[in-house]
Amino acid sequence: MKFTEEHEWLRPEGDIVTVGITTHAAEQLGDIVFVELPEAGRSVSKGDEVVVIESVKAASDILAPLDGEIVEVNPALTDNPALVNEDAMGGAWFFKMRPANMADVDGYMDEAAYQAMIG
């Protein structure tokens, strides 16, 4: 897994990258009450807003970590946004994407660097 400074995790699997937010991010947001996911088939550029999360504390945007195409979204989050609080690093992934350049994943932090960043 790789991690962004915006508290997203990326799990490469073949030519697909699964994206979610870290447990740390979910804890900071508090109880999540709404998740708006992108449409599968959408082309995105790194930095595009692709997911909106609303919690009891705040609304937050998840940005595309890579250029590419959204190939799948997690329907479980539409029905149960609280899943993000329960299983942020597993079952609560937001979307899967096919990056334009898979090597871009290597530019992100490994888990040790992420843990050092959140201290």
- pLDDT 10s digits, 79-95: 999 999 999 999 999 99
Residue numbers in the chain where pLDDT is lower than 50 = none
Q: Which two tokens stand for residue 7?
A: 């508290």
Fold of 2-102: OB fold (Dihydrolipoamide Acetyltransferase, E2P) (2.40.50)
In angstroms, the CA 20 to CA 93 distance is 4
> Phi and psi dihedrals of 39, rounded to 5?
-90, 140
Q: What is the pLDDT of residue 111?
A: 96
Of the candidates 97, 86, 117, 92, the one whose C-alpha atom is nearest the C-alpha of residue 18 is 97
Q: What is the pLDDT of residue 63?
A: 96
Q: What is the pLDDT of residue 71?
A: 98
Q: What is the pLDDT of residue 36?
A: 97
Q: What is the pLDDT of residue 76?
A: 96
